[in-house]
Structure 1
Amino acid sequence: GNWCHEYRKLKAKVETIQKCQKHLMGEDLESLNLKELQQLEQQLESSLKHIRSRKNQLMPESISELQ
C-alpha cells in the first residue's frame, strides 16, 4: 500500500544521508568522481572557515573569563 511507498522513500533518504555523512568523514570516497571530490573539498573548507571563525570569536570571551 501507500505506507510501503513512504517507507521506501524514507529508507532511500536515510541511505543518502548516511552516504553523505560517510563522505564528510572521509570514508567511501571511491564512489566519488573528481568533480564530486572537489565539491566535497569546497564544502569541507567552507565548514572549516565557519568553525574557525566561531572559535576565534569565543577565544577572547574565554580568556577574559579566566582573568
Structure 2
Amino acid sequence: YRKLKAKVETIQKCQKHLMGEDLESLNLKELQQLEQQLESSLKHIRSRKNQLMHKSISELQKK
C-alpha cells in the first residue's frame, strides 16, 4: 500500500509540474527537462492536429 501511495503522489507531483504548478521545488536541470518534455509533447500535439486538419480538408474537397 505504501508503494502505491508513493507512486500516486509522484504522479500527482509530475502532473502539477506539467500544469505549471509547484515549480519552485525544481532545480535548473529539472526545469530544463520539464521544458524539453513539454516542447516534445507540444510537437506531437501539433502534428496530430495538422493530420486531422489535412484529413478534414481532403474530405471537404471530395464533396
In the superposition, the TM-score normalised over structure 1's length comes to: 0.85
Q: Secondary structure at the match of 1:10?
A: helix
User: Does residue 48 of structure 1 match 2:18?
Assistant: no
Please say which structure displays the higher CA radius of gyration: 1
Return structure 1 stretches of 4+ with deviation > 6 angstroms: none
In structure 1, the gaps of 5 or more residues are: 1-6
TM-score under structure 2 normalisation? 0.90
* CA positional deviation for 1:64: 3.1
How many pairs were matched up?
Answer: 61
Over the residues paired in the alignment, what is the CA RMSD in angstroms? 1.0
Aligned-residue offset at 1:61: 1.2
Gaps of 5+ in 2: none
Percent identity (aligned): 97
* Alpha-carbon distance in 2 for matches of 1:66, 1:27: 41
Aligned residue in 1 for 2:4 = 10
